[in-house]
Amino acid sequence: MIPIAKPYLTKKEAKAAYDTILTGWITQGPRVAEFEQKFAEYTGAKYAVAVSNCTTALHLSMIVAGVGQGDEVICPSMSYIATANSIKYVGAIPVFAEIDPANYNLDVHDVAKKITPRTRAILLVHQIGMPADIDAFRTLADKHGLQLIEDAACAVGSSYKGKKIGSHSSLVCFSFHPRKVISTGDGGMITTDNEEYYNRLRLLRQHGMSVNDRVRHESAKVIFEDHLEVGYNYRLTDIQAAVGIRQLEKLDQIITKRRRIAQRYHKAFKSIACLQLPLEKRGYFSNYQSYSVYLRDDCPINRNELMQKMLDAGISTRRGIMTSHRETAYKKEYSGLSLPVSEKSCDRSIILPLYIPMREEDIQKVIETFSSFFK
């Protein structure tokens, strides 16, 4: 069976975890600090704050951005549900806007239409690793005095106009879940250029504690900590960070290889007229976290049938990105909402296997099997 995705982990990561365990310092400590510093360097951000996953990264970002009870935050419905959930956590209201079917990212014109006096922020997702047009959203956000928060869960190593994702805004959230391009099991990171945010994020991820464990541990004097506000336990462990450091070292190599496979798919499928393939415009650089293909109405096979046939042939695929407003958790509240572009994009797209290392014969098999249903 050809899987849909697989984390690229080797003995290097295993050894890093092993060595960390034997140091006796296993939760947030020196390795988390090193991972943060290297991540900030890699993305070109001023600061990076490691947290337990991207969902907690988004939650803390909402808090430091000042999003609260009754505020509206515009985001795509067509995203992993954690995007919308993070808005709910602070008592705010997700306002779902349409996406551009060419890249599954928010449609700036529809976002503009959904701004009201209660809008506080735009939560911009770089869907499946393809950067959104950050400048267009920055202009819109500035015009209306809104916060711009980036959900870059899938976009580590992607870049926009020559700069890595993570360096454009003051709150950018990443994920290291195994389904993403690099992984620490679970894990997350927030990059920021804002010192005030940086300090508050570090406080909030660790119970609001004024002194962190490491400082207290290394101090020659007795220190008593204070808890400055109601915080959370959203720490990353040092075991995870040690794995993350190793993963970060090979990120560019992973992306080069992922892009090569995406290119192979592109070349093989571009002559199939009823398919819409991922589009990487000039100035946009995707890490190809996923390779999603859209089936236009004139395709000879429907998406679900195609998924079953692929599975029968030993190839797992996934449906396109979900729409949050149609999930049970949101369905009732958003029953009056219709987002035809998002719904169609979700229902008619299919994600193909893409991981490192992917054997040549498996790439070939995906290409040949998939193409055969369009003859």
Give residues in contact with ligand PLP (CB under 6 A).
Answer: 53-55, 79-80, 82-83, 125, 151, 153-154, 175, 177, 188
Please state the closest distance from residue 323 (CB atom) to ligand PLP, in A: 13
Question: Catalytic: 180?
Answer: yes
CA pseudo-torsion sign 136, 138, 141, 142: negative
Shortest distance, position 324 Cβ to ligand PLP, whole Å = 10
Q: Which of 111, 157, 109 is nearest to 130 (CA)?
A: 157
CB closer to ligand PLP, 124 vs 363: 124
DSSP structure string for 73-89: EEEESBS-THHHHHHHH
- Judged by CB, which is closer to ligand PLP: 78, or 299? 78
Please count the residues of the chain: 375
CB of 76 to ligand PLP, least distance (A): 9
For 230, list phi and psi in degrees, rounded to 5: -75, 110
Strand partners, 291: 352
Shorter beta-carbon distance to ligand PLP: residue 127 or 170: 127
Tell me whether residue 125 or residue 339 sits nearer to ligand PLP (CB atom): 125
Please pick, among 6, 15, 164, 180, the residue that the annotation labels catalytic.
180
- Which residue's CB is nearer to ligand PLP, number 171 or number 363? 171
Residue 148, C-beta contacts closer than 8 angstroms, at least 6 positions apart: 121, 122, 124, 134, 137, 138, 141, 169, 171
Minimal distance in Å, beta carbon 173 to ligand PLP? 8
Q: For tokens 């990171």, what's the residue?
A: 189
Within 13 Å and on the Cβ side, how many CA atoms surround 2?
A: 28
CA atoms within 13 Å, Cβ hemisphere of 54:
27
Q: Cβ 111 to ligand PLP, closest distance in Å?
A: 16
Which residues have a catalytic role annotated? Answer: 180
